[in-house]
Amino acid sequence: MSRKVLLIEDEPNIAEAIRFLLTREGWQVETHSEGTDAIEVIQGAQPDLVILDVMLPGKSGMDILRDLRELDDMRSLPVLMLTARGQSRDREMAENAGVSRFMTKPFSNAEVLTAVRDLHAQATQS
């Protein structure tokens, strides 16, 4: 039972922190830092869960999510979105785009872990 998470984040330090946390929880963590080819990377990695930053070089997280949900096999893929832009409009946009969970940076580690656990549990139950 290998759980795989794909972390798309361009800030190396943040990526490293999340990788540390999730690895200890037993997740297999893959990381990517570009927006442009994110869809292909997701399709290639076939993760159980995606953690997606909003401000990415090349293509924004919102656009990636929107395009992702267009794909048949990606409709129900749990996506946890993280953003450093503290505007309520972003949450709304993310929900419209089909986000599974939306979190604002800076987050507490416990929050991230809980969210990942919940999302995974929901996904495996259904």
Partner 1 sequence: MATLNVLILVCLGYVVLLFGVAFAADRLAAAGKGAWLRSPLIYTLSLSIYCTAWTFYGAVGNAARSGLEFVTIYLGPTLVMISWWWGLRKLVRVGRSQRVTSIADLISSRYGKSNTLAIGVTILAVLGGTPYIALQLQSITLSFSIFAEADPTGLYREGSSVFWVAAGLAVFAILFGTRNLDANERHHGVVTAIAVESVVKLFALLAVGIFVVWGIAGGVEPMMDRIDASEIGQWNVDAGRWTTFVFLSAAAFVCLPRMFQVMVVENADEAHLRTAAWAFPLYLLLMSLFVVPIAVVGLDLLPDGSNPDLFVLTVPLSQGNEWLAMLSFIGGFSSATSMVIVTAMALSTMVSNHVVMPIWLSTQEGGGSVSGDVRNVVLMARRVSIAVIMAFGYYYYRLSGGGAALASIGLVAFAGISQILPALVGGLFWRGATRTGALVGLTTGFLLWIYTLLLPGMGGVLMTDSVLQHGPFGLGWLRPQALFGIEGMDPMVHAVMWSLSLNTMAFCVASLLSFPSPLERLQGAQFVNVFDHSVAPRGWSGSVAQSEDLMIMTQRILGAGPAQEFFQAEAQQQGGRTRLPEPTPVFLERLERELSGSVGAATAHAMIGQIVGGSSVSVEDLLAVADESAQLLEYSSQLEVKSAELSRTARQLREANTKLTQISEQKDSFLSQVSHELRTPMTSIRAFSEIMRDTDGLSVQEQTRYAAIIHDEALRLTRLLDDLLDLSVLESGRVSLNMGGDTLRSVLDRAVSSALAGGSHTLTVRRSIASERLPLHTDLDRLGQVFINLITNAQKYCDADEPVLTISAHDVGGQVVVDFTDNGSGIPPEAQSMVFEKFARIGGDKAGGAGLGLAICREIIQRLGGEITYLPGQGGAAFRVRVPLAYRQAAQ
Contact 38, 8 (CB under 8 A): yes
Of the candidates 36, 37, 40, 57, which one interacts with partner 1 according to CB under 8 A? 57
* Among 17-25, 40-48, 61-69, 91-99, the segment contacting partner 1 (CB under 8 A): 17-25
C-alpha torsion sign, points 21, 112, 120, 10: negative
Total residue count of the chain as it appears in this document: 126
Q: Is 106 in the site for partner 1 (CB under 8 A)?
A: yes
Q: Is 67 in the site for partner 1 (CB under 8 A)?
A: no
Q: Give the separation between CA 26 and CA 12, rounded to whole angstroms.
A: 21
User: Which residues contact partner 1 by CB under 8 A?
Assistant: 10-11, 13-14, 16-18, 20-21, 24, 55, 57, 84-87, 104-110
